[in-house]
Copies of this chain bind each other. A is one copy, B any other.
Amino acid sequence: MSNFEFKVKQKSKEEGCFARIAELKTPHGVIETPVFMPVGTRATVKAVEPRELEELHAQIILSNTYHCYLRPGDKLIAKAGGLHKFMNWNHPILTDSGGFQVFSLSKLNKITEDGVKFKSHLDGSEHYFTPEKSMEIQNNLGSDIIMAFDECSDYGVTKKYAISAMERTHRWLDRCHKYHKNTDKQCLFPIVQGNFFADLRLQSLKTIVPYATVGFSIGGLSVGEPKEKMYEMLDVLAPEYPEDKARYLMGVGSPDCLIEGVIRGIDMFDCVLPTRIARNGTAFTSTGKVVVKNGKYSEDFTTLDPECDCYACKNFTKAYLRHLFNVDEILGAQLLSIHNLRYLTHLMEQIKDAIRENRLLQFREEYLKKTGYK
């Protein structure tokens, strides 16, 4: 029996709703999808302890290949026994390919058919990523799910450029596939590109699906475009996905996008948003965003979100959280990060309940009305 399996357990019966509940088996445990994956960029989910991730029902986390490669280095992590041991997270881990960061974070990147030369955003040192190198690094990291090295084209590029980036992504995928031998322990997800051109997206999907053993990713969305543009692409793809593969929408994580994504057949999501806004003092709540720092909460002795069961909501008031942010205390970032992550894992639980009861479209309507998220 394989270490990896994807099984759809239930499909929505609502018209125009592609949502489903499924199980994704990995060497470090089974994930129930749809799932939101907290991001642990540098082998740590910022300000959150691994035991707290368990407590808030995180099933799988994402870590970034580019960052781990630069510091502390993938070879060091391999020596430590892999990412799981290094960071003390004995549950599934997914890594990206490093491609997105090479293009967006690093300086003076120079792209050729072979790979990408770039300078570290930290110290300007020169590095070179190829599809093979990305596989090698991810093999060293030892994550359960690894991504193919792709070229993610920006929103607004010409169709000509989009085609060239997509085709390169496909050729690089083939090289990743050929290089990656550790298939027993690590599952390679190919990535759909094609920018914001419907025909390219469909062409890309068709090309990459044969490389998908248990799942694939949709890349190049949520890169600065209006949400409607993203939904448009997802609408084009939704009816065309193979049923028996997990679909991971990369870099998406606002609550409304999670719901819209699930309705459009997405199973997996990740985003730095919940922890990033937490460190700035903003919380998702069941009645909309709360900017905790705001002076109006200084004497608000009620809980942040009465519908939340997280450690922060069970034990502290808005007035206290506001104080922590007002005086710049680390505990504020800790508590709000826990809360925002729990908010999204809880949202996913609510979404799964709605799928089970064939009322996800209604849930979306009520949820958007109640929270004001859009």
Contact = CB atoms under 8 A, between A and B. Distances in A.
Interface of A: 42-44, 46-51, 71-72, 76, 79-81, 86-88, 298-299, 301, 311, 315-317, 319-320, 322-324, 326-327, 329-331, 333-335
B319 A72 contact: yes
Nearest to A75: B299
A320 B80 contact: yes
**How many copies are assembled?**
2
A46 B329 CA distance: 7
B329 A330 contact: no
27 contacts: A42-B323, A44-B329, A44-B331, A46-B329, A46-B330, A49-B311, A49-B335, A50-B315, A51-B311, A71-B326, A71-B327, A72-B298, A72-B319, A72-B323, A72-B327, A76-B298, A76-B319, A79-B299, A80-B320, A81-B301, A86-B317, A86-B319, A86-B323, A88-B316, A330-B330, A330-B334, A334-B334
B86 A331 contact: no
Nearest to A333: B330
A35 B319 CA distance: 31
B42 A320 contact: no
Given A87-B320, A88-B316, A319-B80, A331 B46 contact: yes
B47 A326 contact: no
A55 to B, nearest CB: 11
A193 to B, nearest CB: 30
A177 to B, nearest CB: 31
Nearest to A316: B88
Which of A50, A71, A330, A331 has the most chain B CB within a 10 Å cutoff? A331
A137 to B, nearest CB: 16
Contacts of A335: 49
Given A72-B323, A88-B320, 12 more contacts: A42-B327, A42-B329, A44-B329, A47-B330, A48-B331, A72-B322, A72-B326, A79-B299, A79-B301, A86-B317, A88-B316, A334-B334
A322 B71 CA distance: 11
Contacts of A79: 299, 301
Given A326-B71, A329-B44, A334-B334, A315 B88 contact: yes
Contacts of A301: 79-81
B334 A47 contact: yes
A324 B44 contact: yes
A78 to B, nearest CB: 11
Contacts of A311: 49, 51
A348 to B, nearest CB: 24
